[in-house]
Amino acid sequence: MNRHFYYDLQEIAELIFDYEWFQSGLCNLSGTDIRVENVRLGKNKVYCDIVFDIYDDPDERRTERYSDCTYPFKVLGLNP
């Protein structure tokens, strides 16, 4: 029997945000933000782009983008 689960991509983006926020230690820093973009579902994985906005100086922002990041469903607490 095939089971098809429906997942809200916004909820998955929030799970990834929380995971990255604590895994990277950014929860301990001020002046840094994370954006989760282009969330896509695979068979057992979630694919997305992660953007770190780093405000080293109040007048300028540095951005680091990581494309096609992969998160297994298990890591996010989702059922395949």
Is residue 2 situated within a structural domain? no
Burial class (CB in 10 A: 0-12, 13-18, 19+), 77: exposed
Give the pLDDT score at 60: 81
Domain membership of residue 26 (yes or no) is: yes
Q: Which domain holds residue 57?
A: 9-76
Per-residue confidence of the chain (80 residues) as pLDDT tens digits?
334 467 889 999 999 999 988 888 877 777 788 999 999 999 899 999 999 888 877 778 889 999 999 999 999 988 87
Distance, C-alpha 50 to centroid of its chain? 6
Per the DSSP assignment, residues forming a β-bridge with 68 are none
Count of domains observed in the chain: 1
Task: Give the whole-angstrom CA distance, residue 8 versus residue 76.
Answer: 13
Q: Can you give the pLDDT at residue 2? A: 37
Longest CA span, the chain? 57
Closest CA to 11 of 67, 56, 80, 78: 78
